Amino acid sequence: MRALRVGKMLRDTLRSLFRRPVTVEYMTKPGSMVPLPERFRGKLTYDKSACIGCLLCIRVCPGGVITSTEERKASFNISRCIFCGQCVEICPKGAIKMSSQFEVVTYDKNGLLIK
Amino acid sequence: MVVKRSTERTEKEVEYTRLRIPFGPVHPALKEPVLLRISVRGEEIIDVDMTLGHVHRGIESLAEGRNLIQTLYLIERICGICSHSHTTCFIQALEEIGSIIPSERALYLRTLIFEMERIHSHLLLLGVMAYEIGFDTLFMFTWHVREKILDLFEKITGNRIHHAMNTIGGVRWDLTSQMAGEVKAYMREIEKSTKYIHSAFTDGTVEKRICNLGVLDYNDAIKLCVVGPTARGSGVNIDVRKDHPYAAYDELKGDFSVITRKDGDVYARTEVRIFEVFESINIIKAILDRLPNGSIRPEENVFRIMKRIPEGEAVSLVEAPRGELLYFVKTDGKGGLIRLKVRTPTFSNLLSLKRMLVGCEIADIPVIVASIDPCLSCTNRVTIINQEKGKSKVIDMDSLRRMVRRKWMRR
């Protein structure tokens, strides 16, 4: 039988008792969050004045998030969004952008509608 | 007299006790919901029956009502662990139908994400393996290593799990030189950590637990058509990356080798995965050294490209972390799909479970099932077998709840 090497892992276990935890506590202190990268895909933002009403975003959206309004602008239902970023890519005027906001939990369903 | 009767009864119990244990379909530790009905005599497993289809989501049917670019993000959701494999396989089929040739840089970047995904999937399984054999320290350590690779994914593609890296004719995000440096630095770190994980897995206690367990020999592996690390653990030398090179693997052929083990037990399958992590690291290093310059995607709008894809059909193969993944795609020529067929590696591997499990003990079930890298479970179901009449009935959650309620009412 080979030599037991449990001691090696045990040393690692004991050492981790005195180390700082790897995990970061969520929002206990301001600024204690894990930094978000530049390309992070968060909640959508919509610039209505820049929108020209081509409605290409409706045709690419896989989740059925986007519907058209009466004045030929887009309206977004974030509760269906899968954060793929395809609408951002297809928009010819850059009217849709993805923010770094990832907390989309809300008490009111209407808070998730962007018009 | 009394003593004699009791001995008779125990003899009878030993001879005829045959329990059926339902194992599945929902379990927090394992991912693929499968119901295994396991017959045991004492501790020994004598038969395994399998029921599939507990998470049938109708994705193939959903895809047929959507256009190609919507389908791309839909099929990414088939699997969280190998999301990039699914999209690559689909995109390859589309590019074959539309005869679109992606740029060299795009192919290399696809391969990069592919190999990073393989590392993260294998590390996930190694952690699960350690967890199943009760080695929680190693589980925590392995998943800590894996966590950083997810952060790298987030940096490169913007999301930890569903990368959304592929698009028709290329990839969506480029690798900056700063990111390349980070990936390179992390590869050195991960090599060190994986060596440590390997030394922990060669520990005497771990070897005693998983050696000669769930053996699938070479002939059975061939007959049951198993794929991926499960097949390579039984000595079958198959790897789509070598046999039918796709993406940039044709040029990277010399940078990695196919790992095979002859034993066919749980330990062999685990070891194959550990060494495949090293091979993936080699591939990533080669990619970063030889990354060509150029554009990553066509300038054209996605709609234009979609319109160019004619009516046609194609079959595409990739080597996902769990084995060979197959797609059959049939387009209608108007930017939509007529038929989509997906054959995932776990489906090929699941049938081999019966051969592995028979003869083992109940306590080995989670270890063996985890070793082929699927995802299993346990619910509140009980099977009651009436031995005299030979009938059995399964009590599901609802009837169990009803029984509990009735008992409560009587009180």
Determine the pLDDT at residue B383: 45
Contact between chains at A62 and B159 (C-beta distance less than 8 A):
no
**Closest B-chain CA to A84:** B164
Tell whether A9 is covered by a domain: no
Residue B223's contacts (CB-CB under 8 Å, 6 or more residues apart) are none
SS (H, E, C) B112-140: HHHHHHHHHHHHHHHHHHHHHCCCHHHHH
* Residue bearing the bigger pLDDT, B403 or A52: A52
Determine the pLDDT at residue B34: 75
Contact between chains at B67 and A59 (C-beta distance less than 8 A):
yes
Element (H, E) at B325: strand B323-332
Distance from C-alpha of B309 to C-alpha of B324, rounded to nearest angstrom: 26
Tell whether A1 is covered by a domain: no
Helices of type H across B316-364: 345-350, 352-357
Domain containing residue A110 = 36-114
Tokens at A18, concatenated: 């005195």
Pick from B21, B181, B153: nearest CA to B80: B153
What single letter denotes the amino acid at residue B50?
A: M
What single letter denotes the amino acid at residue B88?
A: T
**Closest A-chain CA to B76:** A84
Determine the pLDDT at residue B119: 94
Overall number of domains in chain A: 1
Tell whether A59 is covered by a domain: yes
Cβ atoms within 10 Å, residue A38: 8
Using the Cβ of B77 and the Cβ atoms of chain A, whether some distance falls under 8 Å is answered with yes
How many Cβ contacts (< 8 angstroms) between chains A and B?
Answer: 86
Distance from C-alpha of A67 to C-alpha of B307, rounded to nearest angstrom: 23
Helices of type H across B133-238: 136-157, 177-201, 204-210, 218-223, 228-233
CA B312 to mean position of chain CA atoms = 30
Closest approach of chain B CAs to the CA of A37, in angstroms?
5
Q: Could you give the ipTM of this predicted complex?
A: 0.87
DSSP letter assigned to residue B47: E
**Closest B-chain CA to A10:** B137
Tokens at B292, concatenated: 């060509």
Determine the pLDDT at residue A34: 80
Tokens at B310, concatenated: 């004619």
How confident is the model over A53-58, as a mean pLDDT?
89
Contact between chains at B202 and A37 (C-beta distance less than 8 A):
no
Pick from B224, B308, B234: nearest CA to B272: B234
DSSP letter assigned to residue B336: B
pLDDT along chain B (411 residues), means of 10: 49 59 64 75 83 76 88 87 90 92 93 93 90 86 91 91 90 92 93 91 83 89 91 92 90 90 91 94 93 90 88 92 90 89 84 86 80 49 48 58 62 54
Closest approach of chain A CAs to the CA of B168, in angstroms?
12
Pick from A114, A97, A98, A95: nearest CA to A52: A95
Give the domain ranges of chain B: 17-54+360-410, 59-343
CA B400 to mean position of chain CA atoms = 33
Tell whether A65 is covered by a domain: yes
With a pLDDT cut of 70, the percent of chain A lying above it is 90
Distance from C-alpha of B364 to C-alpha of B46, rounded to nearest angstrom: 13
Residue B197's contacts (CB-CB under 8 Å, 6 or more residues apart) are B126, B138, B141, B142, B145, B274
Report the mean per-residue pLDDT for chain A: 84
Provide the greatest CA pair distance for chain A.
78
CATH number at residue A104: 3.30.70.3270
Tell whether A46 is covered by a domain: yes
Distance from C-alpha of A66 to C-alpha of B317, rounded to nearest angstrom: 34
Distance from C-alpha of A76 to C-alpha of A43, rounded to nearest angstrom: 11
Q: Answer yes or no: are the C-beta atoms of B186 and A69 closer than 8 Å.
A: no
**Three-class SS state of A4:** coil
Q: Answer yes or no: are the C-beta atoms of B307 and B332 closer than 8 Å.
A: no
Residue B217's contacts (CB-CB under 8 Å, 6 or more residues apart) are B234, B264
Q: Which CATH superfamily is domain B59-343 in?
A: Cytochrome-c3 Hydrogenase, chain B (1.10.645.10)
Locate tokens 């592919």: which residue? B114
Q: Answer yes or no: are the C-beta atoms of B156 and B126 closer than 8 Å.
A: no
Determine the pLDDT at residue B20: 77
